[in-house]
Amino acid sequence: MTKYLCFLSFAAMFLFAGCKKEEVTSYSPVINNVTDNIIVATYTDLDAKAQLLVDAANALKADPSSATNLSAARNAWAATRAPWESSEGFLFGPVSTLEIDPNMDTWPLDSIGVDDILAGTDVINKAYIDALSGDAGTGLKGFHAIEYILWGSDGNRAAGTFSARELDYLVACAESLKGKTAELKEAWAASGGNYANELKSRGSIYPTEKAVLVELAEGVRGIAGEVFSSKIQNTLDGLDLSGVSGGIREEESRFSNNTKTDFTNNIISIQNVYLGTYGSTGNGKGLSAIVAAENAALDTKIKTQITEAIAAIQAIGGNANVTFSTALSADRASIEAAQLKVETLETTLRTELLTLISNL
Amino acid sequence: MKKYILYSFAVLLIFSCKKEEIKNDASEEFPGGATTYNNIFSGSFEQPSSNLNTAELLQHNTGDAHFSANFVTSPAIRNQGLGPIFNHISCVVCHPKNGKSPQPFSGDDLKGLLFRISVPGTDIHGGPANAPGFGTQLQNKANVGKQAEASVQISFTETSFAFEDGTNYSLRKPSYTLMNPYISLPSNILVSPRLGQQVIGLGLLEAINERDLLAHEDISDANGDGISGKANKVWNPVSNKIEVGRFGWKAGNPTLLLQAAGALNQDIGVTSHIFPSENSFGQTQYDGLNDEPEVDSQQLSDLAFYTQTLAVPKRRDFNNDDVLSGKQLFFKIGCDKCHTQKYITGTGATPSVSNQTIYPYTDLLLHDMGPELADNRPDFLASGTEWRTPPLWGIGLTPLVNGHSNLLHDGRARNILEAIMWHGGEAENQKIKVTKLSKKEREQLVRFVGSL
């Protein structure tokens, strides 16, 4: 009898095991690296750069006739813009649910509204800019309001031409932006909202590691889609005020001629998540590590298409000195060529990367 | 002895593979039929139906652009027509990521919440009677130089209750006071708070055969189960007929075209060929620009097409043991009497939504939900205590998509269990059954609903 019981217990164990799913590989090294060393690192960098932008704006306000100060403020803007644009491959979580994105980066800018405020008598400070929230208010602040002041609508504002109210507006927008970058960093930090933990441990938001990987893969697919089908397409579709083909009004970051850099950084955000590195941080465990193990040819294909998309964006207009705005009328073929490279990448991410991740 | 072994094996098999006990159709994993989008992530409510052809996808994307576009004050180069009075400047503000915003804490920022208003009585078509000087919706924002109709103050009362096992729960009841009206409010004004709803799968709901909806009606509760579904019958200004209402918290809209045109007109202040009059017509805020319609019929139909062709996300964990136990409870309690599980759609606005096997968990009918949830504002055949059964698909993804789990017509329920416990009226018996569940059973029920 005892023997039989033993046998039954064994049989039972086998049966239980048989109903369980096959043991799967843990993807936590990739998830932890992308979360801490890419996403959190990008937001930390963004917040640090935003503080430098506030400092530079204050320096310009203190001595607005200094060309050095103007140039430093412009550089600080571009330095802050870079981590922001390279965060667009992961626009999920607090950046979206806390409505941080529209408060930092609404385009087109409502420049007529900004001019109205500058011409008025409202006291301009951080609280005033913060209160321009939701709805129409977001078009009056953020990166592009700062850009509009620093470069002017024609892109070549000179030092010494700023009114006191413009300088107030510049500093207030920079401070408001810094408030948002701090909120975003805090929302992910272990000491704050700890959204990083939602990705790194299993809860109701992401019940499985695969759910996190799907979010990451959809994130990079999403920004590739936005760059080719919206950001670039809108400039090609639109007609500007005088009916000239090429929608300069639609061209994001055109005051500073940072457009090509913006788009490049968008693709770099894909690269960062894919390769598992952010500048010198990150241990190289990104989506690539998973893809390479399953389908080495696809891994190579994605890496190549990322590189080609970046190269094609940088080649818009033929060389680095030709702006996107100029290329819109002078060399549309180069814009369309870049668009096609990004579209090709998006197709691969959508049809092949996502299929692979969904079937893990 | 051998016999014993065989019996033991049989018992072991039953215990070890519990899944087999509760039936799941394989198609239940794909609640939107062939439209279903397979990946669950924060953008799950923003995906085009998976079965669109290239031309349909193009129209969907055009409609998408309209759905997220900010409208601005006229005259402007594009997207003109905002206001003069409005609730928000774009569709996505009230339907963030095509999901929903949380219950607002303060009237300063109402997020996706708006207020339908009226006075007792009906208009010539049997709909709500205009509140003189205010119309049927409160616009709490205005263009520069114009006056909003009123602002809103919100306060909350918390009340504690207990399940039979002694576990406490608490429900948060908001109350709303209209403040600073631009002219005196009618003393008999009726006010109904409405939160913008998720936008997924609407084309499928539109494609359900009318006879299948009416088959669930039981207006005088002939079967004596305490539940008396009733279809709303509402005015359609396009067909000039009374039709079955399907959309909105009280099923006040018969079609998505009308829903889109109505939202543009009332929420954003944008006129169309369907609603060519400004919502402020006859009021002091009226702009008198005579620039109607502010969107053309193509833009409007693209916008409606977008809402007709959004995918429903695939279910999560649909074969999980707890989810299956919760499913069994859901049916045993009788939640499915209103949250009807399954339909096969008829011919819809597009081939993509036609002839699909879908699992929306709604009958789209009106039910008395009791005095606690009542807005006390009739809307065509919907009484002041009746609401339309909302679909449950996608309900568990709101935390992922929108970062909160608020539910019901003004977002008062903070999670699925609270939403269940708000049920009253015709669902009073079902609610009582839930109070008798064990903690584990409650969790299973919530898990099932969250998996839909």
pLDDT in tens, A223-248: 999 999 889 988 888 644 334 444 56
Kindly report which listed range (A123-127, B13-17, B125-129, B298-302) carries the lowest average pLDDT score.
B13-17
Whole-angstrom distance, CA of residue A175 vs CA of residue A161: 22
The C-alpha angle B436, B438, B441, rounded to 5 degrees, equals 105
Tell me the pLDDT band of B16, cut-offs 50, 70 and 90: very low
Taking a C-beta distance cutoff of 8 angstroms, is the pair A254, A241 a contact?
no
**What residue of B is the nearest CA neighbor of A222?**
B43
The kind and range of the H/E element at B343 are: strand B343-344
pLDDT at B44 over 70: yes
Whole-angstrom distance, CA of residue B268 vs CA of residue B142: 10
pLDDT at A112 over 90: no
The fraction of chain A above a pLDDT of 90, given in percent, is: 78
The closest alpha carbon to B62, from B54, B50, B74, belongs to B54
Q: Do A8 and B8 touch (CB under 8 A)?
A: yes
Task: Provide the pLDDT for residue B435.
Answer: 98
Task: Provide the pLDDT for residue A234.
Answer: 83
Neighbours of B180 (CB within 10 A): 12
Tell me the pLDDT band of B4, cut-offs 50, 70 and 90: low
ipTM over 0.90: no
Task: Provide the pLDDT for residue A38.
Answer: 98
pLDDT at A6 over 80: no
Whole-angstrom distance, CA of residue A80 vs CA of residue A60: 17
Taking a C-beta distance cutoff of 8 angstroms, is the pair B309, B50 a contact?
no
Contacts of A110 in chain B (CB under 8 A): 72
Over residues B16-43, mean pLDDT: 83
Q: Do B16 and A241 touch (CB under 8 A)?
A: no
Over residues A177-203, mean pLDDT: 97
Tell me the pLDDT band of A135, cut-offs 50, 70 and 90: low
**What residue of B is the nearest CA neighbor of A238?**
B78
Task: Provide the pLDDT for residue B288.
Answer: 82
Q: pLDDT, tens digit, for every residue of B122-157?
A: 999 999 999 999 999 999 988 878 899 999 999 999
Q: pLDDT, tens digit, for every residue of B410-429?
A: 999 999 999 999 999 999 99
In sequence order, what E strands does A32-191 have?
none
Over residues B219-230, mean pLDDT: 92
Kindly report which listed range (A329-343, B60-74, B380-394) carries the lowest average pLDDT score.
B60-74
The kind and range of the H/E element at B178 are: strand B168-179
Q: How far B160 CA lies from chain A's nearest CA (Å)? A: 26
Q: How far A8 CA lies from chain B's nearest CA (Å)? A: 8
Task: Provide the pLDDT for residue B21.
Answer: 57
The closest alpha carbon to B87, from B102, B103, B64, B107, belongs to B107
Whole-angstrom distance, CA of residue A251 vs CA of residue A335: 12
Q: What dihedral angle (degrees, nearest 10) is formed by the CA atoms of A90, A93, A94, A100?
A: 50
pLDDT at B312 over 60: yes
pLDDT at B12 over 70: no
Over residues B108-133, mean pLDDT: 95
| Closest Cβ opposite residue B41 in set A133, A207, A218 | A218
Task: Provide the pLDDT for residue A4.
Answer: 54
DSSP assignment letter at A319:
S
Task: Provide the pLDDT for residue A25.
Answer: 75
The C-alpha angle A230, A235, A240, rounded to 5 degrees, equals 135
CA distances from B14 to A16, A21, A126, B4, B19 (A): 11, 18, 66, 15, 9
Is residue A83 reached through a cis peptide bond, with omega within 30 degrees of 0 on the bond before it? no
Contact A189/B at CB under 8 A: no
pLDDT at B80 over 80: no
Over residues B187-212, mean pLDDT: 97
Mark B36-67 as b/e (b = at least 16 C-beta within 10 Å). Answer: bbbbbbbbbbbbbbbbbeeebeebbbbbbebb
Contact B17/A at CB under 8 A: yes
pLDDT at B14 over 70: no
Q: What amino acid occupies position B167?
A: T
Tell me the pLDDT band of A134, cut-offs 50, 70 and 90: low
CA distances from B127 to B114, B228, B278, B340, B401 (A): 18, 21, 19, 27, 35
Contacts of B39 in chain A (CB under 8 A): 214, 218, 354, 358
Q: At what angle do helices A259-275 and A287-294 cross, to 10 degrees?
A: 60
**What residue of B is the nearest CA neighbor of A218?**
B41
Task: Provide the pLDDT for residue B336.
Answer: 96
**What residue of B is the nearest CA neighbor of A133?**
B109
Q: What amino acid occupies position B334?
A: G
CA distances from A234 to A150, A180, A229, B19 (A): 25, 27, 8, 51
Whole-angstrom distance, CA of residue A270 vs CA of residue B98: 24
Q: pLDDT, tens digit, for every residue of B244-275?
A: 999 999 999 999 999 999 999 999 999 999 99
More confident residue, A284 or A246: A284
Class of the CATH domain delimited by A42-184: mainly alpha
Contacts of A10 in chain B (CB under 8 A): none
Taking a C-beta distance cutoff of 8 angstroms, is the pair A243, A236 a contact?
no
Across the A:B interface, residue pairs with CB atoms under 8 Å apart total: 74
| Closest Cβ opposite residue A11 in set B12, B403, B404 | B12
Task: Provide the pLDDT for residue B24.
Answer: 85
- DSSP line for A320-345: TTS-HHHHHHH-HHHHHHHHHHHHHH
Q: Do B316 and A214 touch (CB under 8 A)?
A: no
Mark A42-74 as b/e (b = at least 16 C-beta within 10 Å). Answer: bbbbbbebbbbbbebbbbbbeebeeeebbebbb
Contacts of B403 in chain A (CB under 8 A): 93-94, 96-98
pLDDT at B1 over 60: no
Whole-angstrom distance, CA of residue A70 vs CA of residue A63: 9
Task: Provide the pLDDT for residue B407.
Answer: 98
pLDDT at B191 over 70: yes
Query: Range(s) for CATH 1.20.1420.20 in chain A?
Result: 42-184, 209-358
Contacts of B404 in chain A (CB under 8 A): 97
Whole-angstrom distance, CA of residue B245 vs CA of residue B232: 5
Is A209-358 a CATH 1.20.1420.20 domain? Answer: yes
Whole-angstrom distance, CA of residue A216 vs CA of residue A209: 11
